[in-house]
Structure 1
């Protein structure tokens, strides 16, 4: 949906836009902190208008909270520092729930971490359901976050708030 809105606003073809997200989340996981980048041949004096146009075209449950310029080295996926593998977070949450319920001994957590093998984690529990899990932020290499010279100011839009994350009780 974001890609369609960007091509409509910028008039740049999909293949030239190069929209890249930081990663994917399982269906049902909220992505409040998802980060993406795209390339445009245009220089913008202000980002407020493109920001407002994007949110105007997107469904109400999808919002662009912030839009800003980036250095050419920045890549939403490959500039990350804390990345996760498929179902890693859901497996970790499920393990901690089992420890909290005292179904598993808490000593198992450091033992699994010492193996540095995510398959070891999957041996002890099934993944937690995706609902209630939230991608809150993505951490990046500091030098990839430097703003280019003479870039427009970051647009935070009119609604720069995060609502509470609703977590299920087990």
Structure 2
């Protein structure tokens, strides 16, 4: 058997998330259908992490195994000819048998895009941004700094996926301009992310930016470890899985996405 690693991008608008679900359209399901059409046998695809319904990706990493007879298949071109328009393969390569898209990952990066204008909204951006309105960006910047480092993120985890620990490390958290002057992108890189953790962090930052909470609120919530005390979860459509980093010894792994991103193999993603 040969192991293949893919980097994929998808528009999550019309998907019920990444993971297979009976009778529902998922990214994993579409990929497995396309691969099966090429191999003639059922193939299981393993992703670097899960994304919820409506969440996008341009750096999702997956792997799967095929028979040695399929090594000559031009996998990127073949899959893109079979996949629907809202998912595409950005890169395909053979990797060593010990490579695992989830367990070998070292860092992950996610982005979240905000629409900062209240007076109008570009309708074609509705599936890719959160129309939150104007924010105090200095307060947002101060708040982001409290997330950096190793913390217990229990206050920023939604229920649904059991984990052995809610401690994670955030390596970088920054913002930069979006596609227009009315958009802002938040980018976070961490060792792993709990269920809807990024969306919960963004929800808190927006509350601070609106003046409904103080920047110190982030530090207090991290200390309290109480999800019920934290602001509401940000909408799914602004979130995008930007990339995964495996390092030089990651059995063929490389940087993917806009920046390095890290996940130490823990499931229960944003």
Distance 1:45 1:3, change over 3 A: closer
State the TM-score, normalizing by the size of structure 2: 0.48
Looking at structure 2, the residues matched to 28 and 38 of structure 1 have their Cα atoms a distance apart, in angstroms, of: 24
Looking at structure 2, the residues matched to 142 and 110 of structure 1 have their Cα atoms a distance apart, in angstroms, of: 35
Looking at structure 1, the residues matched to 44 and 98 of structure 2 have their Cα atoms a distance apart, in angstroms, of: 14
Deviation at 1:73, TM superposition (A): 1.8
Looking at structure 2, the residues matched to 24 and 140 of structure 1 have their Cα atoms a distance apart, in angstroms, of: 17
| Structure 1 position 126 matched with structure 2 position 232 | yes
Among residues 204, 207, 211, which one is paired with 1:95 in the alignment? 204
Looking at structure 2, the residues matched to 98 and 27 of structure 1 have their Cα atoms a distance apart, in angstroms, of: 23
Give the CA RMSD over aligned residues: 2.6
State the structure with bigger RCO (CA 8 A, min sep 6), 1 or 2: 1
State the TM-score, normalizing by the size of structure 1: 0.73
Residues paired across the two proteins, number: 143
- Where does structure 2 lack aligned partners over 5 or more consecutive residues? 1-29, 107-190, 259-270
- Where does structure 1 lack aligned partners over 5 or more consecutive residues? 148-160, 163-170
Deviation at 1:91, TM superposition (A): 0.4
Among residues 57, 62, 83, which one is paired with 1:31 in the alignment? 57
Looking at structure 2, the residues matched to 121 and 141 of structure 1 have their Cα atoms a distance apart, in angstroms, of: 33
Equivalent residue, structure 1, for 2:31: 2
- Map 1:17-166 → 2, pairs under 5 A: 17-42=43-68, 49-81=74-106, 82-114=191-223, 117=225, 120-121=226-227, 123-146=229-252
Between Structure 1 and Structure 2, the one with more strand by share is 2
Q: Deviations over 1:49-68 (max 9, x none)?
A: 22111000001111011111
Name the SS of the counterpart of 1:64 in structure 2.
Answer: strand
Looking at structure 2, the residues matched to 43 and 142 of structure 1 have their Cα atoms a distance apart, in angstroms, of: 28
Looking at structure 2, the residues matched to 122 and 87 of structure 1 have their Cα atoms a distance apart, in angstroms, of: 14
